[in-house]
């Protein structure tokens, strides 16, 4: 007889041990910023119009509180809110609810502190409950003992709730995951800066919303929204119309290419880069119910290999909006920091991203300058990439007017000049340009960029004379031709100023 025949079929009650369970949940991977954002989600779901986040430095006894003027909770609701695993994540949610798992309040708080006190006011009646991990670790049995009221001596830290008819305050004390080792007041101030930048990004759509005013105050200072897409900025080279997802109602995408550095003031350029900087902030921005989950990721998409974030694509940012009804398809996590597009949407997203990346690459490479002529005609370029089976080579286009002009008049020097052009083609400092671009985080300057205007005019005049005297073009036609010839195509004003009655000796 085998073990399988003897196997017992009874059942056992197997509750987790509170202290061990909660300690394990502390490691979900929240940062202080993502944890506070999770608490603010609850305030927004509770229709708050103001959330005050207060950081109070007192060494090891420092504390953080988050106060809102939302609908608050009655005694029973607060009791449920404080329990872990009280709600089934599979339950349908109100379409404006930012929650899903019934855990955020607890897991976000425990990731930062050992004592969580929540006081809530509903119709002028206040209730207060508390978890203390040190008490939990000493409890008997399975140990799930919640405490009523604030810790003796901490009552004043939740007293702001008394000034509200409705609202909730979440208080974090014993910040053992923040105040570690030699953590100083400077570190605390730096942390406040980091949190500010994160919240102004994550909640920017709420902070910008005029039809339902919402504000976040950090130690009394009103937070400004940070819009990743520079909406309304006239220097933006391109943005797409909104495209609804083909197979998932409620999901929509809008692609943006941001202005090149040269098109923005130093201050605007700094501000537009975002909390993590230009390169890190490229890619998709996934919003769930207008709350940002993911800020800048290529979502594992790519043609062949997954795209990585690089300098050339740093001007590409793509907004995706999803409703909370598709949480499981998008694999939303408890921290609201992860989202994975479902397989059937990946090709569609890949195509939109590819088109945006191409445009962003051009804006980066040409420093935001338009590469089409005013007539729509193709610009005559001096260099042409030539794709062969061994890779790309860069060739000088002999038809470019400035090259053509020399070859045309070269006479017995023609072979030598052609050899020189060949040498230049074979010695393009590709590696140097590549390294400089990576180091400077920008392409080197070309196209007379930042060159004194007299220098440009002198070269321009030579070309103009060639067109008029050698090619017998009328001044009007010569000017039209210059306007579609690289690099003069960006200097229409200088071209228009060229004299119509040209003297061969003019220089």
Give the nearer residue to Mg ion in terms of CB position, either 52 or 109: 109
Residue 368 in the binding site for ligand ATP (CB under 6 A): no
Give the nearer residue to ligand ATP in terms of CB position, either 106 or 256: 106
Does residue 338 contact residue 294 with C-beta atoms inside 8 Å? yes
Window 326 to 365, contacts with ligand ATP (CB under 6 A): 334
Q: How far is the CB of 165 from ligand ATP (least distance, A)?
A: 14
Does residue 295 contact residue 285 with C-beta atoms inside 8 Å? yes
The correct pick among 102, 228, 323, 368 for binding ligand ATP (CB under 6 A) is 102
Which range touches ligand ATP (CB under 6 A), out of 35-43, 224-232, 344-352, 361-369? 35-43
Q: How far is the CB of 162 from ligand ATP (least distance, A)?
A: 16
Q: How far is the CB of 83 from Mg ion (least distance, A)?
A: 13
Q: How far is the CB of 355 from Mg ion (least distance, A)?
A: 36
CA distance 20 to 321: 38
Q: How far is the CB of 63 from ligand ATP (least distance, A)?
A: 17
Antiparallel, parallel or unpaired: β 283-288 and 243-244: unpaired
The size of the interface with ligand ATP (CB under 6 A), counted in residues, is: 22
The correct pick among 43, 111, 281, 297 for binding ligand ATP (CB under 6 A) is 43
At 434, which helix (H) or strand (E)?
helix 430-440
Per the structure block, which two tokens stand in for 244?
Answer: 């609804």
CA distance 225 to 203: 7
The correct pick among 26, 63, 106, 177 for binding ligand ATP (CB under 6 A) is 106
The correct pick among 73, 161, 292, 460 for binding ligand ATP (CB under 6 A) is 73
**How buried is residue 82: exposed, middle or buried, by Cβ count under 10 Å (0-12/13-18/19+)?**
buried
Strand partners, 66: 53, 170
Does residue 225 contact residue 213 with C-beta atoms inside 8 Å? no
Which range touches ligand ATP (CB under 6 A), out of 24-32, 102-110, 174-182, 457-465? 102-110
Does residue 133 contact residue 19 with C-beta atoms inside 8 Å? yes
Please write down the HEC assignment for all residues of 192-234: HHHHHHHHHHHCHHHHHCCCCCCEEEECCEECCCCCCCCCCCC
Per the structure block, which two tokens stand in for 35?
Answer: 């944890």
The correct pick among 112, 168, 281, 485 for binding ligand ATP (CB under 6 A) is 168
Per the structure block, which two tokens stand in for 409?
Answer: 């008049």
Give the nearer residue to Mg ion in terms of CB position, either 42 or 111: 42
Question: Which one of Mg ion, ligand ATP, none interacts with residue 274, CB within 5 to 8 A by kind?
Answer: none
The correct pick among 35, 36, 53, 103 for binding ligand ATP (CB under 6 A) is 103
Q: How far is the CB of 159 from ligand ATP (least distance, A)?
A: 17
- Please name which of 396, 404, 506, 407 lies closest in space to residue 458, comparing C-alpha atoms: 506
Question: Which one of Mg ion, ligand ATP, none interacts with residue 87, CB within 5 to 8 A by kind?
Answer: ligand ATP
Give the nearer residue to ligand ATP in terms of CB position, either 93 or 205: 93
Which range touches ligand ATP (CB under 6 A), out of 95-103, 236-244, 277-285, 402-410? 95-103
Residue 68 in the binding site for ligand ATP (CB under 6 A): yes
Q: Is the dihedral of CA 164, 217, 227, 101 positive or negative?
A: negative
The correct pick among 28, 50, 101, 428 for binding ligand ATP (CB under 6 A) is 101
Long-range contacts (CB closer than 8 Å, 24 or more residues apart) made by 130-135: 131/22, 131/82, 131/106, 132/174, 133/19, 133/22, 133/23, 133/174, 134/174
CA distance 142 to 411: 98
Strand partners, 388: 391
CA distance 287 to 252: 10
Give the nearer residue to Mg ion in terms of CB position, either 104 or 283: 104
At 291, which helix (H) or strand (E)?
strand 291-297
CA distances from 120 to 1, 75, 133, 151 (A): 61, 8, 21, 16
Question: Which one of ligand ATP, Mg ion, none interacts with residue 460, CB within 5 to 8 A by kind?
Answer: none
Give the nearer residue to ligand ATP in terms of CB position, either 105 or 352: 105
Which range touches ligand ATP (CB under 6 A), out of 24-32, 40-48, 248-256, 413-421? 40-48
Residue 100 in the binding site for ligand ATP (CB under 6 A): yes
Residue 46 in the binding site for ligand ATP (CB under 6 A): yes
Give the nearer residue to Mg ion in terms of CB position, either 104 or 323: 104
Residues that bind ligand ATP (CB under 6 A): 38, 41-43, 46, 68, 70-73, 81, 87, 99-106, 168, 334
């Amino acid at each position: 007889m085998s073990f399988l025949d003897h196997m017992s079929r009874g059942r056992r009650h197997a509750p987790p041990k509170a202290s061990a369970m909660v300690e394990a949940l502390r490691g979900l991977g929240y940062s202080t910023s993502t944890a506070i954002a999770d608490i603010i989600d609850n305030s927004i779901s509770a229709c708050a119009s103001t959330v005050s986040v207060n950081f109070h430095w007192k060494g090891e006894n420092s504390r953080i509180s988050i106060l809102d003027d939302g609908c608050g909770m009655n005694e029973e609701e607060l009791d449920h809110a404080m329990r872990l695993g009280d709600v089934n994540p599979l339950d349908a949610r109100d379409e404006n609810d930012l929650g899903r798992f019934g855990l955020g309040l607890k897991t976000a708080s425990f990731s930062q502190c050992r004592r969580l006190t929540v006081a809530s006011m509903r119709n002028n009646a206040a209730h207060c409950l508390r978890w203390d991990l040190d008490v939990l670790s000493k409890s008997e049995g399975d140990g799930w003992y919640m405490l009523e009221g604030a810790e003796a001596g901490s009552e004043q830290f939740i007293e702001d709730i008394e000034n509200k008819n409705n609202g909730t305050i979440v208080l974090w004390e014993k910040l053992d995951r923040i105040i570690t080792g030699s953590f100083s007041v400077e570190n605390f101030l730096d942390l406040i800066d980091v949190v500010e930048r994160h919240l102004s990004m994550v909640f920017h759509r709420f902070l910008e919303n005029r039809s339902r005013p919402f504000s976040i105050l950090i130690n009394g200072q009103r937070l400004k929204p940070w819009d990743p897409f520079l909406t309304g900025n006239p220097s933006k080279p391109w943005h797409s119309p909104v495209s609804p997802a083909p197979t998932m109602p409620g999901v929509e995408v809008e692609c943006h290419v941001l202005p090149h550095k040269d098109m923005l003031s130093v201050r605007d350029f700094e501000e537009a880069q975002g909390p993590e900087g230009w390169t890190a902030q490229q890619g998709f921005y996934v919003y769930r119910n207008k709350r940002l989950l993911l800020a800048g990721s290529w979502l594992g998409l790519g043609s062949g290999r997954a795209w990585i974030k690089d300098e050339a694509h740093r001007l590409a940012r793509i907004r995706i909006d999803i409703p909370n009804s598709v949480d499981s398809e998008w694999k939303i996590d408890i921290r609201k920091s992860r989202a994975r597009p479902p397989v059937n949407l990946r090709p569609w997203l890949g195509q939109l991203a590819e088109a945006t990346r191409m445009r962003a690459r051009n804006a980066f490479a040409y420093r935001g300058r338009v590469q089409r002529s005013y007539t729509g005609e193709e610009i005559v370029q001096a260099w042409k990439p030539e794709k062969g089976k061994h890779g790309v080579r860069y060739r000088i286009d002999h038809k470019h007017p400035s090259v053509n002009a020399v070859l045309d008049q070269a006479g017995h020097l023609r072979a030598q000049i052609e050899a020189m052009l060949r040498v230049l083609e074979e010695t393009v400092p590709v590696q140097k340009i590549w390294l400089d671009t990576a180091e400077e985080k920008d392409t080197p300057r070309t196209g007379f960029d930042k060159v004194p205007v007299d220098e440009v005019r002198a070269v321009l005049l030579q070309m103009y004379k060639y067109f008029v005297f050698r090619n017998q073009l009328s001044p009007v036609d010569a000017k039209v031709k210059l306007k579609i010839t690289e690099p003069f195509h960006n200097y229409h004003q200088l071209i228009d100023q060229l004299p119509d009655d040209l003297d061969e000796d003019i220089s």
